[in-house]
Amino acid sequence: MAIIHRTVLKPTKLELLGSWLPSRPWYRGGAGEPELAKAGGFRLDDPQGAVGIEFMVVTGASGPGPVAYLVPLTYRDAPLDGAERALIGTAEHGVLGRRWVYDGCHDPVLLAQLTALIEGRVQAQDQNISDTSDPEITRSCAYAGLAPTGSAVEAVETVKAVEAVDDQEGTELSAPYGAALRLHRVLRPAPADGPLLPPDATGHVAGSWLLPDGTRARGLFAVLRTRP
């Protein structure tokens, strides 16, 4: 299990994201400086213990109205080869030293562990407490053959570079074994009287986040589809 260190990060995550988010096509804020607040998220463990994996939800209030964004992050102790365009920035960790912070959609370790979460082979971990699972994160997988020849850890070895394409709403990734995975970057509450999943979904991850008025919303974080 990953250890959550009670220390400082300079610059902070929100400071790093404040410089990076406006460059994303799915960013909905105005021309001014982003007004970001932490609103939720969860972590996944790297079985090798080398890469920090966090799915962070932040709300931005600089546009016409507050918007919740899903930002998957990975933290490494050295640069990730071939991922220069995915680098959000570097920061000094009070315990671990310099960390390279990446848009996790381009990191094969995050992709492998997210695949394992959807399949039910790993558990989502609390964002702030060590060795504690997060029961608010739900998942499903209707396709039992997503990883028929090995675990998500083994799948990392077959992924030389993660193909991730941003659009106005989210990020499309090529998941292992021919599956397609879409991350919802702009989060929306699920309809109270409708289905959570689109009809062609074969798997998902959902969770909750804090709204500016103090209430909680729940919706989709990621949707898995098998390619025809």
pLDDT (average), residues 9-28 = 94
Residues 43 and 16: their CA atoms lie apart, in Å, by: 18
Question: Is residue 155 predicted with pLDDT exceeding 80?
Answer: no
Residues 54 and 110: their CA atoms lie apart, in Å, by: 9
- Partners of residue 186 on adjacent β-strands: 69
Residues 198 and 196: their CA atoms lie apart, in Å, by: 7
Query: What pTM was computed for the model?
Result: 0.89
Yes or no: say if 26 and 172 are a contact pair by the CB < 8 Å rule: no
Distances (CA, A) of 123 to 46, 108, 119, 163: 12, 18, 10, 25
Residues 42 and 114: their CA atoms lie apart, in Å, by: 11
Question: Is residue 32 predicted with pLDDT exceeding 90?
Answer: no
Average pLDDT, the chain: 86
69-101 pLDDT, tens digit per residue, is 999 999 999 999 889 999 999 999 877 789 999
- Partners of residue 179 on adjacent β-strands: 226
Q: Give the model's pLDDT for residue 143.
A: 66
